[in-house]
């Protein structure tokens, strides 16, 4: 019985596509060898060959198999591309060691040959075109590193600490630095001795946003000196507390100079952050925290008293363009120019605590809209009076989603005309009392409906 053997003429050679030409790396290994018989080589011709990869030199189950139906053999020499028929998975080369077994014309060639480091270059490649994986050890990047998340909900960089982490998760050093100038501790806290925040491209977004937890009890922001003593706190309610290194006993008076401000408030960098002008007007501070007088609890924390014949507002809050956002008029009336919300009960028309979320001690006025044609309702509408002239009227409701509690009243004014009346249509597949619409067919009919956040319901008619 003849016995085939393979003499590896050139070992195993990895063929790499040219990354310089923008091509992807071709994932196969070029195998060359010579098949011999006792006394010579096998006859020239084409032979079927199989390649098997194992994680042990004998026995076991193949981890990878590939069949080449026809491989040319000349003078015993053959060449085949391992992986050109069945792609070799990257994960296979994480297994150490790997052994190659060849089957020629159904005859298993022994012994198996152990793969060296060259084919394992599949798993290393270059940084271009890498498909991911796990890096064990240090990574040094001599240049700019950029991360491009595959989708908007995937973070660009994830650093996960080990169990029981005590060292910093991230450290940033300046050129030639020994100690980190920025670092993220094992608890995720960011420590930076010098931080500059640039305004975001969207002018409506804050430059810095600090959001407390649902049960926040610690300060939202604290600034400390080198000894760890707090200099400034922002408490969980948003109150600003500044701790001055100076104290005043008795009566302190500031006399107006001949020119310039009476008082300038200067930060550590020498910039004026607030001032009291020669007329006594205070300006420039972004926020003021006023402590209530502890010796006289009946006194107000802030009192603004007008002069006889006052015509200007007592107080104005403006945006950066100088437009008023909130004013307190000379009669004490509060005027807000934007949407407002109140976290507690509100009383209108009486100087007394409200007994409900909204208590109105007097008449209530609401918006009234007269229409003779179709109308789409918005947040600007409340009562709609419909007069039919030559055709029926359709009132389109906004979506009930997100406006739970909003009410509309629609009335059909006389006279009754031989038309289809007033039809109230909800948005999309939403309903009114479970129906697809609501029709007022006779003059003086009306209906009041309310949103529950999903559909509309009749509460009066």
Q: Which of 14-23, 49-58, 159-168, 206-215 has the lowest mean pLDDT?
A: 14-23
Distance CA 221, CA 367 (A): 44
Whether residue 2 has pLDDT greater than 70:
no
Distance CA 142, CA 264 (A): 48
Of 445, 328, 350, nearest to 393 (Cα)?
445
Q: Which residue has the higher pLDDT, 19 or 303?
A: 303
Q: Does the predicted model carry a pTM greater than 0.75? A: no
133 pLDDT band (50/70/90 cuts)? low
12 pLDDT band (50/70/90 cuts)? very low
pLDDT score recorded for residue 247: 46
Whether residue 54 has pLDDT greater than 90:
yes
Helix (H, G, I), strand (E, B) or coil at 17: coil
Beta strand pairing status for 272-276 and 263-266? antiparallel
Mean predicted confidence (pLDDT) in 388-396: 91
Phi then psi dihedrals of residue 25, to 5 deg: -75, 130
pLDDT score recorded for residue 15: 37
Mean predicted confidence (pLDDT) in 77-92: 86
Sorted by where each starts, the structural domains of the chain and their CATH numbers stand as 5-124 (2.60.40), 368-460 (2.60.120.640)
Q: What is the pLDDT of residues 156-185, one digit of tens each?
A: 778 888 888 888 878 887 777 677 777 788
Vertex 357 angle, CA 352 and 360, to 5°? 55
Q: Which of 15-24, 235-244, 376-385, 401-410 has the lowest mean pLDDT?
A: 15-24
Whether residue 132 has pLDDT greater than 80:
no
């Amino acid at each position: 019985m003849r016995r085939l053997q393979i003499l590896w003429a050139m070992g195993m050679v990895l063929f790499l596509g040219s990354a310089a030409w923008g091509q992807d790396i071709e994932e196969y290994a070029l195998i060359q060898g010579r098949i011999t018989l006792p006394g010579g080589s096998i006859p020239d011709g084409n032979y079927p060959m199989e390649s098997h990869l194992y994680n042990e030199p004998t026995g076991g189950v193949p981890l990878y198999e590939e069949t080449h139906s026809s491989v040319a053999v000349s003078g015993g020499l053959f060449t085949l591309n391992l992986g050109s028929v069945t792609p070799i998975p990257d994960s296979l080369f994480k297994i150490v060691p790997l052994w190659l077994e060849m089957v020629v014309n159904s005859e298993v060639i022994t012994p198996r040959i152990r793969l060296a480091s060259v084919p394992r270059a599949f798993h290393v490649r270059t940084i271009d075109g890498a498909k991911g994986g796990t890096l064990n050890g240090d990574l040094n990047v001599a240049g700019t590193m950029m991360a491009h998340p595959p989708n908007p909900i995937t973070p660009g960089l994830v650093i996960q600490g080990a169990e029981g982490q005590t060292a910093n998760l991230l450290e940033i050093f300046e050129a030639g630095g020994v100690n980190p100038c920025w670092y993220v501790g094992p608890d995720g806290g960011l420590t930076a001795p010098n931080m500059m925040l640039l305004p975001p491209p969207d002018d409506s977004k804050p430059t810095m946003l600090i959001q407390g937890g649902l049960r926040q009890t610690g300060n939202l922001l604290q600034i400390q000196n080198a000894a760890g003593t707090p200099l400034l706190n922002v408490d969980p309610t948003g109150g600003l507390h500044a701790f001055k290194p100076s104290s005043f006993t008795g009566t302190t008076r500031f006399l107006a100079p001949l020119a310039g401000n009476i008082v300038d408030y200067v930060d550590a960098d020498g910039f004026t952050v607030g001032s009291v002008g020669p007329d006594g007007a205070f300006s420039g501070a972004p926020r003021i925290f006023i402590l209530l007088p502890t010796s006289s609890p009946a006194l107000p924390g802030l009192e603004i008293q007008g002069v006889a014949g006052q015509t200007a507002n007592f107080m104005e809050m403006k945006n950066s363009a100088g437009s008023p956002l909130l004013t307190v008029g000379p009669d004490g009336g509060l005027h807000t120019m934007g949407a407002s919300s109140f976290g507690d009960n509100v009383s209108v028309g009486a100087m007394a605590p409200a007994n409900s979320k909204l208590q109105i001690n007097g008449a209530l006025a609401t918006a009234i809209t007269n229409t003779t044609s179709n109308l789409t309702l918005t947040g600007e509408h409340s009562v709609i009076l419909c007069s039919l002239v030559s055709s029926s009227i359709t009132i389109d409701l906004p979506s009930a989603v997100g406006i739970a509690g909003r009410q509309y009243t629609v009335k059909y004014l006389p006279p009754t005309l031989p038309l289809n009346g007033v039809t109230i249509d909800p948005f999309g597949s939403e309903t009114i009392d479970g129906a697809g619409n609501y029709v007022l067919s006779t003059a003086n009919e009306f209906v009041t409906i309310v949103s529950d956040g999903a559909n509309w319901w009749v509460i009066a008619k």
